[in-house]
């Protein structure tokens, strides 16, 4: 039986998500759920900043779940739900289950569903081919019930639930032979002669196995009962019984108990593959979040891996994408930025428009599909447009963004200017945050030629608000540069009202590149860029033009 997971498609924005990234994901998941049969779920690839948190609370929308890696996990694979077996079952029973289930490994579990061990075909082969100790049945503490099952016997006297725990197994050739070789507590395999049966009981055998379906006299049964000797009848001849009886041993005597390699449902397939390549096991237990046994997985199951299906919004740069994106199946990309570095194996729906906000594209798609926009979703889309266009001040803002915002404001019943003021105030409340938290509110990585660089942006309604964090962030930039392993880092402190940016920087060549890219005046540790408020349309293209020279 295979375990199959519910099919979902995750809609997710970039790392260090801004308001557009979060709101676009929520809205597009809503639209897709209303137009398609598959379940779409909004996710986020990083922490929500204060501006976005204000927006979500304002419109009473739950924050999407955090996802840090979209690589395939064990829970994405159809794996076998081979039932766990009790460690008291016989080797023969285990072998029969293996044939029925067409497996080479059986998980051994307790009543609490925890893994106790594994029994594999080679263990059974060992018991059959390599065991020469005739005390092994007792050493393994074999239950008579197992012996009955293995040799298709019947209990004629004694308790089938008792255990054979002392003595050895012998095959009788007659009373005289037994006199020399049978000891107290032995298990004796014999034929139909009354004399041999009584002799074995007289010598205090713990069990006699009468072969070939021969009848056992009342006299023998009475003698056996007096001496607590178990009597078993079987249709098999002595040779077959002697050959089969070792298979009655409980599997716990042969199973692997220590050093078992298991995997959790949350484990990533790439990590699992690496571990599997280093061991010779064919099958491995899978454990659920409680540590209980959930099924078995093998290398073959990995061949049928179903990658996570994702839709990316508000980015198409690999450096900005959630970790593990190479191991996921990208179905769509909805974006408004330049063409980036993401590659897909198969063609995807890629909608990229030169607009100020991804959420404007989502708004258009609602209209195209003739789907009514709920008030809450309208509020989210409006907030995203306000945020990305800096209340229509950014040069990225288009007439389509303005028109969308006005219509969304009517649907949501929202005063646009008041919402913008509240949003930006929430986003510029830096007092209770560490420099690291502030820096990563809106941080993206880029590649241009031989350079890898990052750009963070903070926006506020006044120069004073930005100055309050300038010194703290200027000291942190060098830390961020080292932490991310980049050549350069730039930090935009954008004054929305004055429509200007103070650009801070770190990296050996950062200042020289700024000097070539802009005609800007030096201000303390940074440069004042008048009229520059857009990272996407004004800063990045100018920096890249210089880097690619």
Q: Is the model's pLDDT at 546 over the cut of 90?
A: yes
Question: Cα torsion for 456, 461, 462, 464, to the nearest 10°?
Answer: -70
Task: Look at the pTM and tell me if it is higher than 0.95.
Answer: no
Q: Is the model's pLDDT at 322 over the cut of 50?
A: yes
CATH entry 1.10.540.10 includes domain 435-547: no
Q: Can you give the pLDDT at residue 396? A: 93
Which range among 143-147, 299-303, 515-519 shows the weakest confidence by mean pLDDT? Answer: 299-303
Specify which residues 108 forms β-bridges with.
Answer: 85, 117
Residues 477-497, buried b or exposed e (16+ Cβ, 10 A)? beebbeeeebbbbbbbbbbbe
What is the percent of the chain with per-residue pLDDT over 70, rounded to a whole number? 99
User: Model confidence at 77, in pLDDT bands (50, 70, 90)?
Assistant: confident
Q: What is the pLDDT of residues 18-46, one digit of tens each?
A: 999 999 999 999 999 999 999 999 999 99
Are 74 and 265 contacting, i.e. CB atoms less than 8 angstroms apart? yes
In residues, how long is the chain?
549
Segment holding 118, helix H or strand E:
strand 115-120
Q: Is the model's pLDDT at 493 over the cut of 70?
A: yes
CATH class of this structure's domain 91-253: alpha beta
Q: What is the pLDDT of residues 380-435, one digit of tens each?
A: 999 999 999 999 999 999 999 999 999 999 999 999 999 999 999 898 878 778 99
Nearest Cα residue to 322 out of 549, 53, 11, 82: 11
Which residues have CB under 8 Å from 231's CB, separation 6+? 155, 156, 157, 158, 207, 208, 210, 216, 220, 221, 224
Place of tokens 């690839």: 45
Q: Compute the distance between CA of residue 153 and CA of residue 147 in angstroms, rounded to an integer.
A: 8
Q: What is the pLDDT of residues 94-136, one digit of tens each?
A: 999 999 989 999 999 988 889 999 999 988 888 777 667 889 9
Q: Can you give the pLDDT at residue 6? A: 55
Are 357 and 392 contacting, i.e. CB atoms less than 8 angstroms apart? no
**Long-range contact list for 238-245, CB < 8 A, 24+ apart?**
238/171, 238/189, 238/190, 238/191, 238/211, 238/212, 240/151, 241/151, 241/189, 241/209, 241/211, 242/169, 242/171, 242/189, 244/92, 244/150, 244/151, 245/137, 245/147, 245/150, 245/151, 245/169, 245/189, 245/209
Segment holding 9, helix H or strand E:
strand 8-12
Q: Can you give the pLDDT at residue 1? A: 40
Measured CA to CA in angstroms, residue 196 lies from 190, 227, 292, 341, 504 at distances of 7, 16, 51, 86, 101
Q: Is the model's pLDDT at 233 over the cut of 60?
A: yes
Question: Cα torsion for 331, 336, 338, 341, to the nearest 10°?
Answer: -20
Nearest Cα residue to 134 out of 95, 161, 168, 100: 168
Where are the domains positioned within the chain?
A: 2-71+308-427, 91-253, 435-547
Q: Is the model's pLDDT at 2 over the cut of 50?
A: no
Give the β-pairing of 230-233 and 263-264: unpaired
Q: Is the model's pLDDT at 15 over the cut of 80?
A: yes
User: Model confidence at 471, in pLDDT bands (50, 70, 90)?
Assistant: confident
State the average pLDDT for the chain.
Answer: 92
Are 50 and 426 contacting, i.e. CB atoms less than 8 angstroms apart? yes
Q: What is the pLDDT of residues 422-450, one digit of tens each?
A: 999 898 878 778 999 999 989 999 999 89
Q: Can you give the pLDDT at residue 472? A: 86
Q: Can you give the pLDDT at residue 4? A: 45
CA atoms within 13 A on the CB side of 378: 19
Which range among 212-226, 284-298, 458-472 shows the weakest confidence by mean pLDDT? Answer: 458-472
What is the percent of the chain with per-residue pLDDT over 90, rounded to a whole number? 76
Q: Which two tokens stand for residue 444?
A: 């993206």
Q: How many other CB atoms are found less than 10 A from the CB of residue 180?
A: 6
CATH class of this structure's domain 2-71+308-427: alpha beta
Q: Can you give the pLDDT at residue 348? A: 94
Segment holding 194, helix H or strand E:
helix 194-202
Per-residue pLDDT, averaged over 487-507, amounts to 94
Q: Is the model's pLDDT at 468 over the cut of 90?
A: no
């Amino acid at each position: 039986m295979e375990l199959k997971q519910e099919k979902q498609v995750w809609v997710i924005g970039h790392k260090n998500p801004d308001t557009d990234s979060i709101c676009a994901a929520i809205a597009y998941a809503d639209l897709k759920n209303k137009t398609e049969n598959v379940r779409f779920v909004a996710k986020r690839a990083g922490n929500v900043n204060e501006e976005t948190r204000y927006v979500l609370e304002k419109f009473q929308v739950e924050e999407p779940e955090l996802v840090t890696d979209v690589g395939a996990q064990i829970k994405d694979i159809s794996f076998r739900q081979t039932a766990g077996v009790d460690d008291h079952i016989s080797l023969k029973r285990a072998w029969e289950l293996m044939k029925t289930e067409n497996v080479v490994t059986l998980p051994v579990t307790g009543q609490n569903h925890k893994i106790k061990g594994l029994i594999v075909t080679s263990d059974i082969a060992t018991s059959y081919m390599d065991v020469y100790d005739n005390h092994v049945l007792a050493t393994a503490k074999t239950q008579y019930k197992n012996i009955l099952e293995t040799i298709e016997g019947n209990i004629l006297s004694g308790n089938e639930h008792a255990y054979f725990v002392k003595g050895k197994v012998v095959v009788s050739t007659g009373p005289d032979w037994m006199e020399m070789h049978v000891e107290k507590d032995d298990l004796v395999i014999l034929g139909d002669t009354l004399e041999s049966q009584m002799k074995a009981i007289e010598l205090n055998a713990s069990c006699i196995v009468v072969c070939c379906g021969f009848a056992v006299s009342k006299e023998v049964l009475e003698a056996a009962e007096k001496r607590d000797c178990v009597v078993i009848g079987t249709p098999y001849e002595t040779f077959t019984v002697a050959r089969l009886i070792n298979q009655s041993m409980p599997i716990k005597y042969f199973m692997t108990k220590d050093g078992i390699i298991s995997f959790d449902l949350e484990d990533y397939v790439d990590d699992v593959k690496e571990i599997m390549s280093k061991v010779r096991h064919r099958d491995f237990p899978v454990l659920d979040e409680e540590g209980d046994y959930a099924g078995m997985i093998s290398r073959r199951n990995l061949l049928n891996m179903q990658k996570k299906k994702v839709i990316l919004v508000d980015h198409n740069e690999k450096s900005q994408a959630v970790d593990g994106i190479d191991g996921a199946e990208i179905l769509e990309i909805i974006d408004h930025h330049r063409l980036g570095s993401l590659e897909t194996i198969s063609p995807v729906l890629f909608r990229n428009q030169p607009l100020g906000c991804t959420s404007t594209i989502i708004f258009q798609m609602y209209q195209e599909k003739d789907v009514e926009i709920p008030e809450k979703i309208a509020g989210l889309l409006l907030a995203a447009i306000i945020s990305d266009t800096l209340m229509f001040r950014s040069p990225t803002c288009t007439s389509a963004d303005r028109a969308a915002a006005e219509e969304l404001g009517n649907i949501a019943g929202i005063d646009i200017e008041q919402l913008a003021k509240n949003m930006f105030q929430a986003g510029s409340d830096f007092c209770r945050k560490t420099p690291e938290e502030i820096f990563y509110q809106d941080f993206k990585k880029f590649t241009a030629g031989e350079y890898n660089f990052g750009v963070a942006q903070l926006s506020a309604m006044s120069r004073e608000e930005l100055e309050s964090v300038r010194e703290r962030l200027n000291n942190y930039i060098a830390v961020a540069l080292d932490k991310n392993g980049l050549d350069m880092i730039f930090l935009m402190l954008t004054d929305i009202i004055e429509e200007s940016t103070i650009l801070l920087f770190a990296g050996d060549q950062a200042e020289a590149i700024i000097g070539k890219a802009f005609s800007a005046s030096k201000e303390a540790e940074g440069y004042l860029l008048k009229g520059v408020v857009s990272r996407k349309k004004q800063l990045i293209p100018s920096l890249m033009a210089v880097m690619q020279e």
